[in-house]
Structure 1
Amino acid sequence: MKRRRFLQIVAGACAAGGGAMAAEWQGQVMGADARILVRGGAAPRAVVDQVLAEIRLVEDTLSLYRESELTRLNREGRGHASALMQQAVDLALEVHEATGGAFDPSVQSQWLRLSEGQGAGRLPATFAQIATAGEIRLQPGQQLTFNGLAQGLATDRVAALPALRDLGGVLVDMGEARALGAEFQLGLSDPESGVLGQLTLRPGRAIATSSPAALRFAGGESHIMGPQGQPPLWSTVSVEADSAALADAAATAFVLMERPAMKTAAARLGVGPVRLVDFDGNLGQL
């Protein structure tokens, strides 16, 4: 199944309050479009090389689309966790607990069933049941996906590059966006309703967006699903946070949650504002 991605966050080519055009680098991360906007001009080749090295590291660790640490773990059922894998597992466990299990990377087993034309069924084990003291051991029949946070993690790692931060106003978008050195005007978009509003992303802040309609299986099921097969409750959820990876995971989980539970989880995780689009195209804020 070919993975496709709707553009939910549409970035302007200039920083908020300024008219200078930005140079743009484009690429791909985890099968989705990625880009970097540099307000002051193009990034030097050495900086681009560092960006590509970070992207390769994330894909070598967490990709499901080629051989990686994650595909080996899913195939063998156990393995020693690299530092980046452990970081992904630790964040996933934090969001899993805060969202009452709505964020659960072990839905990969359901993904596989749906891609083969079978029903999603129930998880053989929850994500909380894996062992994580450097050695990950999956339960029988359990497989993991970190697609719900990997692009955010790539955004954070690229944004942390000292050479990139020295370029002034920069917007890093590895599937989720983070602003450096300047404010950026962004447009919040829904796959069904189009662009619904604008926001200003402040320096150091990140934003992630999840939309169930961005990818569907042949039977019509969304790529975002709960551990018990729960369907999405929102058409689009956008979350701001200090970390793109945290915003990414939270947005993935919040798509499956009612407002009261979402509000509790957002407070616990320290994320927000949270913007919601219902299936009638109405934009609101938590």
Structure 2
Amino acid sequence: MPITRRRLVVISAALALLPSAGRASRHASKIWTGQALGARTSIRVDHPDSAAIAARVVTEIERLENILSLYRPESALARLNRNGYLVDPPFELLECLSIAGAVNHFSGGRFDPTVQPLWAVWAEAAARGGSPDMQAIARAISLVGWEKVEIDPARISLRPGMALTLNGIGQGYVADRVAALLGAEDLMDILIETGEFRALGGMPNGADWPIHLQAGGLVGLRQRALATSSPLGTTFDAAGRLGHILNPLSGKPVSTMWRAVSISAPAAAVADALSTASCLLEDASQVELLVREFPGARLELAT
């Protein structure tokens, strides 16, 4: 299946839990469709207990949305952004922010979850059919900076006006948590897709999961994850020139040579964040240096 950066998110949790390699399945696929991560979502399961497996995955996604979603008013992240602090933050939010902080550090601040005020400025201007003025951008930049976030297990605190976004890491993190849920039940040979890919084992026939990159090439996945970021995959303008990945220093959509960057890693959250950060780097050698800081991570394609 090709990787595309799109608003439609498909979660194929247990896409092919086949009874045995080389035989046709005796069990009809169980398909669930609904909303998750702010997008249309589906789960396809081929397994004797497909309905129960799908139900557990849906419950886990729902639980994670109530922690990580920007758009649910009572999610942990939304309450943090609204109040400027969060007491006794959930472990999952702390873990996701810990990964984000590591990528922020090794990317020289290019990956920065505090860009949400910038995103809001650009999105509001786009809704009016234009671009934000320099004063609005400057005000938003003053609210950006990972070093301004205070995090400990008992409390997360933001400075007034700051807000966090988990775009660029959240979809990968959800894939990791779904994988952990299924792996704890000793389920294997599963491909999970949440906009990023996470493989539990390989295919039921023993081969790696073949992921065809939209920009060309194929990556085989076995017990690892793959993420692709495209600066112009989502844009703020009808002409498609102002991409959704924002430079936290300039406050503007990244001006980059990259059409797409694909990175694999043992964890989907790491691959997700690294692919986003890489879109803000200037050449493949910089991407390679960043990726080397994360054990098991690998640059698959930069074009």
Q: Is 1:53 matched with 2:59?
A: yes
C-alpha distance in 1 between matches for 2:40 and 2:210: 19
C-alpha distance in 2 between matches for 1:102 and 1:24: 41
* Structure 2 gap ranges (5+): 126-131, 203-207
Q: Is 1:102 matched with 2:122?
A: no
Cα deviation per residue 1:227-279 (whole Å; 9 max; x = unaligned)? Answer: 1135142111111000001111111111111223222211112253213343x
Q: Structure 1 length as normaliser, TM-score?
A: 0.82
Residue equivalent to 1:146: 166
State the Cα distance separating 1:136 from its structure 2 match: 1.1
More deviation, 112-121/148-157: 112-121
Q: Is 1:215 matched with 2:234?
A: yes
Residue equivalent to 2:128: none
C-alpha distance in 2 between matches for 1:98 and 1:146: 18
More deviation, 265-274/110-119: 265-274
In the TM superposition, 1:34-183 aligns within 5 A as: 34-36=41-43, 38=45, 41=47, 43-67=49-73, 68-80=75-87, 81-117=89-125, 118-119=132-133, 120-121=137-138, 122-134=141-153, 135-162=155-182, 166-182=186-202, 183=208
* Structure 1 gap ranges (5+): 191-195, 279-286
Residue equivalent to 2:7: 5
State the Cα distance separating 1:145 from its structure 2 match: 0.1
Letter in 2 for 1:49: A
Structure that is richer in strand per residue = 1
State the Cα distance separating 1:4 from its structure 2 match: 4.7
**What RMSD, in angstroms, separates the aligned Cα atoms of the two structures?**
3.0
C-alpha distance in 2 between matches for 1:250 and 1:48: 29
Structure number with bigger Rg: 2
C-alpha distance in 1 between matches for 2:214 and 2:176: 22
Q: Structure 2 length as normaliser, TM-score?
A: 0.77
Q: Is 1:235 matched with 2:235?
A: no
C-alpha distance in 2 between matches for 1:42 and 1:32: 28
Q: 1:151 to 1:105 in 2, by over 3 A?
A: same
The alignment-based identity, stated in percent, is 35
C-alpha distance in 1 between matches for 2:44 and 2:255: 32
C-alpha distance in 1 between matches for 2:291 and 2:183: 32
